[in-house]
Amino acid sequence: MKNLWKKLIDKYGYPKVFITILLAILLLIAVFQKQSIYGLLKDSLVRIGMNSVLVLAMVPSIVSGTGLNFALSIGIICGLLAGCITIEMNMVGLKGFLIAVLISIPFSVVAGYLYSILLNRVKGDEMTVGTYMGFSVVSLMCIGWLLLPFKNPEMVWAIGGKGLRTTITLANKYDKVLDRLIKLPNIDLPIGTLLFFALCSLLMWLFLRSKTGIAMMAAGSNPRFAQASGINVDLQRTIGTILSMVLGGIGILVYAQSYGFYQLYIGPLMMPFAAISAILIGGATAKKASISNVIAGVVLFQALLTISLPVINRMMPEGNLSEVVRIIVSNGVILYALTKVGGND
């Protein structure tokens, strides 16, 4: 028994094992509480699809050696900006969503490129610098959202007619356009979003096996060796950062179509942390990540959050315990990963 436990920990790492056990306990309680298991699983799937691409965005950043992308909010802002532009142009349906994705890419590429120039000068401190760069850009964009010349009355404040609203509804635009892309009779599952995620994952998987992808992984896992064998490490880190930002931009659009709203201003502030916790729960570290980490992580983390809400609220109607669980789990996992990275020496 003790051996089995040790084997489990060695193979999957503490976060994954603990979260799985926690999830199993919650599911068991849910059964006893006679909650609708189908409903819980369906809600979990919705949230898994919603967050999946954002979590995937961590992969290129980790494998290229820049660590966990704490500045993913920059990519997220690029996506939100693209989304607002499509609403300004009154684009609806799948076409609107896809155009938003297309518009977001050049923004993310430029932002990612600029950010990577910075990252290549602060090697070893990417995470600390990234966190505060992300925070700074989010708060700078708060001024941006107020001043940008958007005119569509559905987006700007009704009073004064200037400045975007804090939340912009996507109803009648492309609310759930991916979620409901493929409809099966009697089953209301977000198949479209999950397929979209599968497509992104497949592309990422293929990319990591391409010549560039392999060079990028080499640059990330052993920069000195890679440099010696003729790989331009800085270029690979740049590519990784750009890809991460692009996926961040697409990720928020996927998130928003499922959620039904764009959340501007300080909405993106803490979003990178959720994505980071998810991929860490999936077994990634600050230096190693794979598509399977993404899938396992987003499933475990989002299922935990979704299921804990009704289960805990039934047990403890007072207070906001499920939110507390979220804060503790998500930051605890990041903290654990940081102690594993170890010092510089």
Partner 1 sequence: MKKYSSQKAAINFIKNNTVPILFFIICLGGVIASKLSIPYILNEIVNRLDRNLFLVLSLIIPVVAGMGLNFALVIGAMAGQIGLITIKVLNIGGITGLFLAALISIPFALLFGYGTGKILNRTKGKEMITSLILGFFAMGLYQLVFLLFVGTIIPIKNPEIVLPGGVGLKNAIDLTIIQYALDDLLSINVMGIKIPIFSLFIIGLLCLFTKFILKTKIGQDFRALGQDMHVAEVAGIDVDRTRLMAITISTLLAAWGQIIFLQNIGTLQTYSSHEQVGMFAVAAILVGGATVTRATIGNAILGTILFHTLFIVSPNAGKNLFGDPQIGEFFRSFVAYGVIALSLVLHAMQKNFDANANVESME
Nearer to partner 1, 181 or 269 (CB): 269
Q: Which of residues 301-320 bind partner 1 (CB under 8 A)?
A: 316-320
Spatial neighbors of 148 by CB under 8 A, at least 6 apart, are 84, 164
Binding status of residue 271 toward partner 1 by CB under 8 A: no
Nearer to partner 1, 98 or 266 (CB): 266
Binding status of residue 18 toward partner 1 by CB under 8 A: no
Which among 262, 272, 269, 294 is positioned nearest to 16, based on CA atoms?
294
At its nearest, how many Å lie between partner 1 and the CB of residue 220? 17
At its nearest, how many Å lie between partner 1 and the CB of residue 292? 25
Nearer to partner 1, 214 or 341 (CB): 341
Do residues 244 and 75 lie in contact, with contact meaning Cβ atoms separated by under 8 Å?
yes
Give the type of residue at 167. Answer: T
The number of residues that bind partner 1 (CB under 8 A) is 46
Stretch that binds partner 1, among 183-191, 192-200, 294-302, 329-337 (CB under 8 A): 329-337
Calpha distance 163→26 (Å, rounded) = 43
Nearer to partner 1, 5 or 157 (CB): 157
User: Quick one: which of 37, 147, 203, 214 contacts partner 1 (CB under 8 A)?
Assistant: 147
Calpha distance 20→47 (Å, rounded) = 17
Calpha distance 247→63 (Å, rounded) = 14
At its nearest, how many Å lie between partner 1 and the CB of residue 204? 26
The radius of gyration of the chain from alpha carbons, rounded to an integer in Å, stands at 20
Nearer to partner 1, 83 or 130 (CB): 130
Write each residue from 49 to 88 as x if it is in contact with partner 1 (CB under 8 A), else as -, in one continuous string.
---------------------x------------------
Calpha distance 178→344 (Å, rounded) = 44
Calpha distance 216→227 (Å, rounded) = 11
Do residues 59 and 289 lie in contact, with contact meaning Cβ atoms separated by under 8 Å?
yes
Strand partners, 262: 168
CB atoms under 10 Å from CB of 71, counted, come to 32
At its nearest, how many Å lie between partner 1 and the CB of residue 34? 24
At its nearest, how many Å lie between partner 1 and the CB of residue 298? 20
Write each residue from 180 to 209 as x if it is in contact with partner 1 (CB under 8 A), else as -, in one continuous string.
------------------------------
Calpha distance 208→215 (Å, rounded) = 9
Spatial neighbors of 266 by CB under 8 A, at least 6 apart, are 138, 139, 142
Write each residue from 127 to 146 as x if it is in contact with partner 1 (CB under 8 A), else as -, in one continuous string.
xxx-xxx-xx-xxx-xx--x
Write each residue from 105 to 124 as x if it is in contact with partner 1 (CB under 8 A), else as -, in one continuous string.
-------------x--xxxx
36 class by beta-carbon count within 10 Å (0-12 exposed, 13-18 middle, 19+ buried) = exposed
Q: How many angstroms separate the most distant Cα atoms in the chain?
A: 67
Calpha distance 182→196 (Å, rounded) = 11
Q: Which residues bind partner 1 (CB under 8 A)?
A: 70, 118, 121-125, 127-129, 131-133, 135-136, 138-140, 142-143, 146-147, 162-163, 273, 316-321, 323-324, 327-328, 331-332, 334-335, 338-339, 341-345
